[in-house]
Structure 1
Amino acid sequence: MNKELINYIENSIIPKYSEFDKGHGIDHVRSVIDESLKLAVNCNVNLDYAYVIAAYHDLGLCEGRELHHIVSGKILEADKHLQQWFSGDAIKLMKEAVEDHRASAKNSPRSIYGKIIAEADRDIIPLKIIRRTIQYSIANSPSNDKEHHWANLLNHMAEKYAEGGYMKLWFENSKNAERLRELRKIISDKAQLRDIFEEFYDNENC
């Protein structure tokens, strides 16, 4: 990998993540970089591309979450420092990969690099996902009716994570593949899912 590029990213790009929330801070971007490079090695593709894409993928959070993937791509494309190391075509490829990284995107990434960053950015931990879904429902769909939040959990799990859901993993040997299988086992066992829901819901409302 290009040492000058690494020096620039480490000193000028990664520190920007200190301005974001804990879930998208410096620890997050370093984790995504590490996983991206592992996948890039396994796929025998350009490590510098994978590194830059991972480093820039969430910079657009400076303008909010909804369109952060688009804004992140624009930030990458506009960074003239990258022209020292990459052609215009390479920068366009990396920009598109950043745009394609968002986990909620229902269309396939346009390149192997988009698939790598989409995969690396996911952190599938079954209980954490279930808890966050309940927390989101309580915060964004206020109701004292427990069954309302149970229904929201079931709907979200079915739409995104269950068999046939829009969550797609692009690499069978990634860290997330086994975790998604674990989550799907829980989703398919409604009694187990209900027990988990009861515990987390009570904790949020105690």
Structure 2
Amino acid sequence: MMTNLFSIFDPSTNIFNLPLNWLSTFMGMMFIPYMFWFIPNRQLIMWNFTFNKLHIEFKTLLNQDKMKGSTFLFISLFCLVLFNNFLGLFPHIFTSSSHLIMTLSLSLPLWLSFMLYGWINNSQNMFIHLIPQGTPPILMPFMVLIETMSNIIRPGTLAIRLSANMIAGHLLMNLLGSTGTKISNYIMIILILTQFLLLTLELAVSIIQSYVIAILSTLYSSEIN
């Protein structure tokens, strides 16, 4: 039962042993040509509004005097995760953001670059973050150990948070959908309404998780200044 349930996340579609399911990661590029229209349209206005709001929010968290243009990195991260989360809601489209191999590929290089930049260029500030202000001297070794461990697990928590949230909703929808052939017509109506509500919830989760991974990456980046 569980093997069949989790099989919806397996990249099984392939030609000549090539995992073509992962091409869904780049399907978001299909939406880009609309951004280059000369005549303003609803999609362009919506994206410009979203980007401006994200730029303003990320700019308040980052020191733009030292890191000019860094907000575009996190806005791009938001768009990439959003496209993959959203496309995974369509039938028969592989959800790449539900796999740790992709989420770790996003979070681990970001975390490593933040840590290397901070320790090389601002090592004193990095040491300060290991000991919170007002910590008693007897607790300082324990606080250094705790803060070090919390920094090490950050890429893992980012990756697991995104993949776990995407897996949970898809599993629930698949589990409820697999019972459709075994229930009466009256219960079927309730099941369809429940699936519609779950789909709406998953749409909200897709947007929220994209924002969460972008804002947390911004917060981690702001700590190295």
Question: Is TM (by shorter chain) over 0.5?
Answer: no
- Please classify the TM superposition score into its range, dividing by the shorter chain length: under 0.3
RCO higher in 1 or 2 (8 Å CA, sep ≥ 6)? 2
Name whichever structure is richer in helix by fraction: 2
TM normalised by structure 2 equals 0.26
Which is higher, the Rg of structure 1 or of structure 2? 2
